[in-house]
Amino acid sequence: MMNKSSEKHMYRRDFIILKKDKRNDLRPRIPSCFLINSFFDYDVYSHNILDVNKFLISRKNTGVCLIGYALNPFTGANDNSRIAQHLAKLLSEDESNFFDYLDQLSGRFLLLCKKEDREFLLQDAMGYRCALYSTDPTRFMIASHTSLFQSVFDFRLNEEAFHISTQENYSMGGNYLPGLMTAISQVRPLLPNTFIDLRTISIHRFFPREELERNELTDEFVEKISKVLCRQNEMLTKRFKVVLSLTGGLDSRISLATLKNHTERLDKVFTYIINGNQSHKKDISIAPKIAEQAHLTSFSTINVKKSDLLLGDFLDKSQKIVNCNIKKSSSDMIALYLVGVEDPSTVHYMSYGPEVFNCYFTKNPINRDGVLSLDKLCRLYKRSLVHLTKDAWQEFIDIHNPQMKEVYGYCPYDLLYWEHRNGAWLGARMSDTDMVADTFVPFNNRKILKEFLSIRQDLRRTKEIHKKLIQFNWPELLEIDFT
């Protein structure tokens, strides 16, 4: 049995949502380090360092419970309780305004919502506050990690998922499962741009809702985006201790460029290499040059060894790692641990997200037809595993209701990357690093993503946006080569 110290460390920032009528029967199975917050007919169990804020409008039988943290770089709102209050008021008055405000929020959060007889749950823009749900109405729960479903309801491991994960080419392109498959039977991930109706356990899409505005990559456009990103960084660095991971690429260089006026507030800056990985060698060659150019005195290079990936005596995390269905601990988590992140108020500033607007899938001209199909979903996932994944992708089509062709001007390939690769892979990966630090991604904001996606694909594909943003905010950073 896990001792209380290990349990408190392992379940950092984790949560469980259950109906109140399950409290007496299931409380002994829930980690003892979890606190309870009641929200209408539900109990939210969460680790004490995971912020939970709720606001109820009793006369309208309406309320919002915000799990995690949020900020609004467009209005300057930087307080979870006030954001929850504003969301609840908007929900009670006009749902369209509620969703418009939601689009402006950055951070990493879930919203548990009630409006009269409706109860639903949704995530931050990219689904980085991972939420999994069970499909069995008699054992319904929502949780941050698959291991929690095993401990509360004795759900079994998914043998089909295990079989796929043991295939020779499974790790190519990322360790994540197809469609809505998880490592646990009868458990699915909630994905971005949708919400789950808690009464019917059904998925409903709320984005996109309107035509995508088209913009030119002008100086005025670059300045507008820069102001939002810079304001966001100012809000973040005032609120949290920030640790920045730096690579040799342009994605993290945008982050650093827009952090120019706040580098003195960065607690640590680091890059890392895993077992001498050749692709990482470029990072450890270029990142120190960037750090020197930017006068980042807290910069360090972390060498993650094979023995580190097994965690040694740090913590037995084998149950929790099954969330990503990888057989070792997250390299990001170990790098954060080795760099010395200890304060629970720390956020790891990561530069995930640009692949959504970098046209990841349409770099190959064959995918520029603007139409998805079952066969294409299988091949875009992992070409060598098509014969094993068709059922999973058909379930994805039936339940998630992805945009299979252009809708409101959004390319279906962009939305697929946004919703599945981000939600099913990166969201789970961030849950694994929660044990050490929370995560902030500057592009995890629906309104910011809409701005980037409004630019022509040829300019996005060649990363002209990246270069212009860096040029505008910190041009010296472009003097150094990039990967």
Domain residues of the chain, as ranges?
Answer: 4-205, 219-355+425-479
Position 53 scores a pLDDT of 98
Q: Is the pLDDT of residue 42 over 80?
A: yes
- pLDDT surpasses 60 at 312: no
Distance CA(309)–CA(400), nearest Å, equals: 34
Between 341 and 334, residue with greater pLDDT: 341
**Which structure tokens are listed for 355?**
């692949």
Q: How confident is the model at residue 320 (pLDDT cuts 50, 70, 90)?
A: very low
Sheet order of strands, 132-134 included: 34-39, 42-47, 15-19, 142-143, 132-134, 187-189
The pLDDT tens digits of the residues spanning 143-196 come to: 998 889 988 998 988 899 889 988 988 877 777 899 999 988 899 999 999 999
Q: Looking at residue 4, what is its pLDDT?
A: 58
Q: Which of 353, 352, 345, 350 is nearest to 437 (CA)?
A: 345
By CB atoms closer than 10 A (0-12, 13-18, 19+), residue 345 is exposed
CA distance 35 to 27: 11
**In the predicted structure, residue 316 carries a pLDDT above the cut 50:** no
Residue 432 predicted with pLDDT over 70: yes
The pLDDT of residue 407 = 93
> pLDDT tens-digit profile of 209-229?
999 999 999 999 999 999 999
Q: For residue 319, what pLDDT band results from cuts at 50, 70 and 90?
A: very low
Distance (Å) of CA 465 to CA 138, 290, 362, 433, 438: 49, 20, 17, 29, 28
Give the pLDDT confidence score for residue 43 in this predicted structure.
Answer: 97
User: Which CATH topology does 4-205 take?
Assistant: Glutamine Phosphoribosylpyrophosphate, subunit 1, domain 1 (3.60.20)
Radius of gyration of the chain, Cα coordinates, nearest whole angstrom: 21
pLDDT band at 353 (very low <50, low <70, confident <90, very high): confident
Q: Which two tokens stand for residue 11?
A: 């379940």
DSSP string, 363-396: GSGGG-SSB--HHHHHHHHHGGGHHHHHHHHHHH
Q: What is the 3-state secondary structure (H, E, C) of 24-73?
A: HHHHHHCCCCEEEEEECCEEEEEECCCCEEEEEEHHHCEEEEEEEEEECC
Cβ neighbours of residue 389 closer than 8 Å, sequence gap 6 or more: 164, 178, 179, 378, 381, 382
The identity of residue 313, as a single letter, is D
Residue 314 clears pLDDT 70, i.e. is over it: no
Is 17 buried (19+), middle (13-18) or exposed (0-12) by CB count in 10 A?
buried
For residue range 440-478, what is the model confidence (pLDDT) as tens digits?
999 999 999 999 999 999 999 999 999 999 999 999 999
Span of 78-87, 214-223, 346-355 with lowest mean pLDDT? 346-355
| Whole-prediction pTM | 0.94
What percentage of the chain exceeds 90 in pLDDT?
A: 73
What would be the CATH architecture of the domain defined by 219-355+425-479? 3-Layer(aba) Sandwich (3.40)
pLDDT at 368 over 50: yes
* pLDDT score of 46 more than 50: yes
Using the predicted structure, report yes or no on whether residue 313 has a pLDDT greater than 80: no
Closest CA to 396 of 185, 182, 209, 197: 182
DSSP state of 153: H
For residue 115, the surrounding DSSP H or E stretch is strand 106-115
The pLDDT value given to residue 298: 92
pLDDT above 70 covers a percentage of the chain that reads 92
pLDDT of amino acid 334: 73
Taking only the tens place, the pLDDT of each residue in 280-305 is 778 889 999 999 999 999 999 988 77
Query: What value does the mean pLDDT take over residues 104-109?
Result: 98
Average pLDDT, the chain: 90
